[in-house]
Amino acid sequence: MKTVVANLVALVVIVLPSVALACPNCYAASSQRTIMAYYASTMLLTLMPFALIGGVILAVFLMRNRPPSAEDPST
C-alpha cells in the first residue's frame, strides 16, 4: 500500500509542475538583478567541471611538451 501511495504522489508531482515548485515566492518576489544573479551562479556551477577538466588537460599537455632543461642529464 505504501508503494501505491508513493507512486501516486510521484505521479502528481510529475504531472502538476506547480506542486513541485519548492518556493514560488522566492522567484516571484525577486528583482531582475536577483534573477540574473541566479542565472549567473547556475552558469558558473554548470561550467566549473568543464573548466577544471580543461585545466588538467592543459597542464598535462604543457608538462608533456615542455622543452628539456639544461639540468637534465639525459640530453
Domain assignment present for residue 60? The answer is: yes
Decide if 64 contacts 58 (C-beta within 8 A). no
Q: What is the pTM of this model?
A: 0.48
Domain assignment present for residue 51? The answer is: yes
* Domain range for 37: 20-64
What is the per-residue pLDDT for 33? 85
Give me the amino acid identity at 54: G
Domain assignment present for residue 4? The answer is: no
* Confidence at 10, pLDDT banded by 50, 70, 90: confident
Domain assignment present for residue 73? The answer is: no
Number of domains in the chain: 1
Position with higher pLDDT, 55 vs 5: 55
Domain assignment present for residue 24? The answer is: yes
What is the per-residue pLDDT for 13? 66
**Residue-wise pLDDT tens digits, 28-64:** 667 888 878 888 989 999 999 999 999 999 999 999 9
